[in-house]
Structure 1
Amino acid sequence: MSVFIDIAGLATADIVFELSPLAELSLALHTLSEPGHHPGLAGWATATAASLQPDLAGRLCEADFLWRNTFSDLFMPFAGVRGGDGRTRATLAEELDLLDLLDDEQFVSTALEFCSLDSYNTGGTSPLSDPAARARALELATARGPQQLEFTARLLKDPDSVRVWVRRLVEDCDAAFFADTWRRVQGKLAADARHKTQLLRRKGLGHALTAVSPALALEDGGTRIRADKLSEGQATATDPDVGAGLTFVPSHFGWPHLMILHRPGWRPVVHYPVGGPELPAPASVELLKLRLEALAHPVRMQLCRNTARAPHTTGELAVILGISAPEVSRHLAVLKKAGLIVTRRRGRYVMYQLDITVVARLSSDFLEGILR
């Protein structure tokens, strides 16, 4: 399984390595929401979470599906603004100005990306105009709690007010913690972007891709990029409707995630991590054998990938994987017996989530593979 980016005919000048403060903020918020994904940042996450004012912490809970579940494309508006140049901006304020330029269909669809994962590759229908998509968005938000349901309902009813709310939230995060964090990591990210740009110009795209991630490869005579991920997707960097271009964005908070924006009608973006921490030691041989046997099925690998990013119900997983709910339940039972899945009840819903701590002990390669 892979995500492919068609680059046939793309000029080297249209491939850029650039920093994006708004995209980096989204990953910082993800780290706060899912610190288990980022063991090397546990100290930062703990200290930052403890320093948040109650009002800001509460607002972050309302909209956490923007960064907890799917790394919403909302935080990379430079790739989606119609008629734009496809380039990132130097400051958070400038990138928020780009966010304001997304039309309502784009804004709402990207904000509710978590409820349309099964149609991400095709674009799907907008919950603003399709009653079925609207009902599905509200149903999936219900499973995530009353705050998320209220936020989703407000977004569908009045996108303009939510735009103002989101911008204020980002600005308050900047004042509370991100401005200091960005000053600390910006130099390292800028140095990495310069280094990759020099590799691209001097040695070609193949060498630059290898330096970005071993999961990236140049194929078909240099006409497409393959990203080795436990998902499928296709994008083009030469779509005449949006303009030619491919952007690589380095991230301090990214590891172990390698994210590919391949939304139809947007320019593709590769958001890649710079560096990675040491992981805990592996488990015992007996426990390793039990867990590897549980993982010896492609469907259970897919379940691990989806439940690693966020808790899901059986029904949600059935839709995402395109199989029946009873079949999902059988595979979840195997993973749970091996101690790889934890559950919690939220009202009438049972949520399933991968135990990242256990997986980290199992294999760093496996962890990076499913979270890539």
Structure 2
Amino acid sequence: MSVSIDISGLSHERIHVVPSPLAELGMALHALSEPGHHPGLQGWATAVSTRLDPCLADRLCEADFLWRSTFSDVFAPFAGLPGQSTLPGATLAEELDQLDKLTDEQFVDAALEFTCQSTYSEPDRNLLADPAVQRRALDLAAARGPQQVKFTQRLLDEPPVVRAWLRKLLEDCDEAFFADTWARLSHQLAADARLKTDLLRRKGLAEALKALSGAVSLDESEQLITVDKITTGRTTTGSGGLVLVPTSLGWPHVMVLHRKGWQACITYPISAPGLTAPPTVEQLTRRMAALAHPVRMRLCRHLARGSYTTSELADAHGMTAPEISRHLSVLKKADLITTRRRGRYVQHQLDISVVSRLGSDFIEGVLR
């Protein structure tokens, strides 16, 4: 599975490598709510979490589904502005102003990405006027939990109120911890952007994309960028541009914004924190055997993004719930996934800290 970007007719002048403070804030919030995805940031996450005002911490918990498992396009508002040529702002305030310029329909659609429902392939949805579409959004939110249902209903009923609430929340995060983090990271991100821009000019787009990530490639004959992802999607730059956004806090995630009508954007990591110690050889053998099955590998690629119910996985992979349950059982016995109950729903998630160690575990195991 992959996401592809048709770049036919795209000149190098319309390709930009630009850091985004709002995107990095989104990554920071994700790392705080899902520290298992970022073992190298646990010290930073712990330090920030312990200093947070309890009121702000509660507000972040209320909204963490917006960034826990899905990188919502509300963190890349520049891409949704008319003309598909706007770049990220130089400051967080500028990008929050860009967020305010999105239509209510754009904002609601992007904010509802947490529901597992891909809205990219539904360009004619009318979230704010079609009762059937709204009921579907609420049904999907129900599988996520009561907070998501409450948020979805509020979002559909009062988009301006939610927009103002989100902006205030992000501004408070900036004041509480992100301004200091951005001051430390912005120079590193700007330096990487300059290096990638220079590489693009000297050696071309193929070499620049190769430097972003091994998951990104270019078929020059087809004029097609392909990014290895768990989803399948396609977009085109058309008359717009392509924006490459470096992130320091986002490793190992590579995100592709391919929403219909929005400017294409790839967010790529610039650093890879270190990992932790290995398990026993017996555990390693069991885990590698569990991952040898192609269906379980596909499930792992899905579960790496967040926690999902058996029925959600069955729907996403075109299988029956009993078939999914059998594969989940094997993964659970290998200690590769964790399970938790949220009300009447049981959700499963890949244990990133375990999977991230498999390579070094194998080397130590065969040399021991």
Question: For residues 365 and 81 of structure 1, what CA distance do their matches in structure 2 show?
Answer: 47
Contact 1:307 1:353 (C-alpha < 8 Å) held by counterparts: yes
Match of 2:199 in 1: 199
Q: Partners of 2:85 and 2:66 in 1: how far apart?
A: 25
Distance 2:179 2:360 in 1: 31
**Residue number in structure 2 paired with 1:303:** 299
In structure 2, C-alpha distance between the alignment counterparts of 1:46 and 1:348, rounded to whole Å: 31
Conservation of the 8 A alpha-carbon contact between 1:121 and 1:262: no
| Corresponding residue SS for 1:353 | strand
* Structure 1: gaps of 5 or more residues: 367-372
What displacement does 1:106 show?
0.9
CA positional deviation for 1:197: 0.4
Q: Is 1:360 paired with 2:356?
A: yes
Alignment of 1:1-372 (within 5 A): 1-83=1-83, 85-123=85-123, 125-221=125-221, 223-238=223-238, 243-363=239-359
Q: Is the alpha carbon distance of 1:325 and 1:131 closer, same or farther for their aligned partners in structure 2, counting shifts above 3 Å?
A: farther
1:117–1:320 contact (8 Å) kept in structure 2: no
Counterpart CA distance in 1 for 2:331 and 2:163 is: 40
Q: Are the structure 2 counterparts of residues 364 and 178 from structure 1 closer, same or farther at C-alpha, using a change threshold of 3 Å?
A: farther
- Structure 2: how far apart are the matches of 1:133 and 1:365? 47
Give distance in 2, aligned partners of 1:265 and 1:298.
34
The CA deviation string for residues 336-363 of structure 1, in whole angstroms up to 9 with x for no partner, is: 1211111111221111111122212224
Q: Quote the offset at 1:364 in angstroms.
A: 7.5
Secondary structure of 1:138's counterpart equals helix
Of 51-60 and 247-256, deviating more is 51-60
Question: What letter corresponds to residue 203 of structure 2 in structure 1?
Answer: K
- Per-residue deviation, 1:46: 0.5
Aligned residue identity for 1:72: S
1:33 shift after superposition: 0.5
TM-score between both structures, scaled by the size of structure 1: 0.92
Q: In 2, distance between residues paired with 1:132 and 1:111? A: 18
State the Cα distance separating 1:135 from its structure 2 match: 2.4
Deviation at 1:224, TM superposition (A): 1.2
Taking the aligned partners of 2:72 and 2:120, their CA distance within structure 1 comes to 11
**Cα distance, 1:199–1:171 mapped onto 2, change above 3 Å:** same
TM, length-normalised to structure 2: 0.93
Using the alignment, how far apart are the partners of 1:144 and 1:119 within structure 2?
A: 17
Change (3 A) 1:358 1:84: closer
Per-residue deviation, 1:257? 0.4
Aligned partners of 2:140 and 2:228: how far apart in 1?
A: 29
Runs of 4 or more above 6 Å deviation: none
Contact 1:116 1:124 in 2 (8 A): no
SS at match of 1:117: coil
CA contact (8 A) 1:78 1:87 kept: yes
Aligned residues: 362
100-109 vs 138-147, greater mean Cα deviation: 138-147
Q: CA deviation at 1:228?
A: 2.2
Q: Secondary structure at the match of 2:85?
A: coil
Contact 2:120 2:259 in 1 (8 A): yes
Which 10-residue stretch deviates more, 138-147 or 55-64?
138-147
1:345 maps to amino acid = R
- Give the CA deviation at 1:235: 1.3
Shift of residue 144 of structure 1? 3.4
Q: Contact 1:312–1:351 at 8 Å: present in 2 too?
A: yes
Residues 279 and 364, structure 1, Cα contact 8 Å, conserved in 2: no
Tell me the CA shift for residue 365 of structure 1. 12
In the alignment, structure 2 segments of 5+ residues that lack a partner are 363-368
Cα drift, residue 229 of structure 1: 2.5
Over 3 Å counting, the alpha-carbon distance change for 1:364 and 1:120 in structure 2 is farther
**Contact preservation (8 Å) 1:118, 1:319:** no
SS state at 1:198 partner: helix
Deviation at residue 104 of structure 1 after TM alignment: 1.4
Q: Which amino acid aligns with 1:244?
A: G
Structure 1 vs Structure 2 CA RMSD: 2.0
